[in-house]
């Protein structure tokens, strides 16, 4: 289960990613085009996502939310 942002303000995105996505290859550098797209939709992705390469995702990768609120925002982007 993803933590709420208010409960993890003292943790780094690296700590959250390590705890949440153990065994998944990920990168803290988000594609700038995706970050810009998020911003155009009113979402600040910085520090709230990592870019993941789970098995089967292919070379492009996918955004992986680090908090419950980031997961909600990801759902808004998908709709």
* pLDDT at residue number 74: 95
* pLDDT at residue number 40: 96
Among residues 15, 14, 10, 71, which one has the least CA distance to residue 45? Answer: 71
Cβ atoms of 30 and 8 within 8 Å: the answer is no
Q: Which residue range forms the structural domain that includes residue 9?
A: 5-78
Give pLDDT tens digits for 9-67. 899 999 999 999 999 999 999 999 999 999 999 999 999 999 999 887 777 899 999 99
* pLDDT at residue number 58: 72
């Amino acid at each position: 289960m993803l933590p709420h942002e208010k409960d993890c303000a003292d943790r780094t995105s690296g700590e959250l990613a390590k705890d949440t996505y153990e065994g998944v290859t990920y990168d803290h550098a988000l594609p700038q085009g995706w970050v810009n797209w998020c911003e155009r939709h009113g979402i600040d992705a910085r520090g709230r996502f990592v870019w993941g390469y789970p098995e089967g995702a292919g070379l492009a990768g996918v955004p992986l939310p680090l908090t419950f609120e980031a997961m909600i925002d990801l759902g808004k982007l998908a709709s």
